[in-house]
Amino acid sequence: MKLSGDGVGTVLGQLESRLMRLCWDAREPLTAREIHEQLRIEHPVSPFTSTTVLNRLVEKGLLKRERVDGRLHFSARVNESSFVSHASRRAVEGILSLGAEAVTASFVDVLAERDPAQLEELARLIRQKLREQGG
């Protein structure tokens, strides 16, 4: 987890995040060249670099790579909301390993400062979960 990142960038690197965004936004699988052409508008890297990172995302299980008409096509293996849900759960589990009591108190404090409405929503979710568990 990268504390300096934002959104998906807290889990993936900056270039990985941009490549995933292009694949999530695409309606169909894209070639490495098509992805690179879109990427280089905002992020000037070599085609070799973007292809290397695409292959790394395949190895991580986030992208699917298929050869069609002699060219490699890439597409997202998981949708963005599934990725964010899984990543946020893993991040919370990792943070809680620091000590649940201190982390919980810090979380509540930060939420109270940044977004009191979300703190209220958290309280509602806690009450709901307690009812579901019979507590």
CA distance linking residue 58 with residue 110, whole number of Å? 35
Instruction: Encode the chain (135 residues) as per-residue pLDDT tens digits.
Output: 444 445 554 568 889 989 999 999 999 999 999 999 999 998 889 999 999 999 999 999 999 999 999 999 999 999 999 988 888 888 888 888 888 888 889 889 999 999 999 999 999 999 999 999 986
Query: Does the predicted model carry a pTM greater than 0.85?
Result: no
Q: What is the dihedral of CA 29, 30, 31, 37, to 10 degrees?
A: -170
Residue 102 Cα distances to 92, 96, 108, 109, 120, angstroms: 13, 9, 10, 11, 20
CB 55 within 8 A of CB 70: no
CA distance linking residue 29 with residue 2, whole number of Å? 29
Secondary structure letter of residue 28 according to DSSP: S
pLDDT at residue 45, rounded to an integer: 92
Residue 108, CB-side half-sphere exposure with 13 Å CA sphere: 10
Task: Write a three-state SS string for 64-103.
Answer: EEEEECCEEEEEECCCHHHHHHHHHHHHHHHHHCCCHHHH
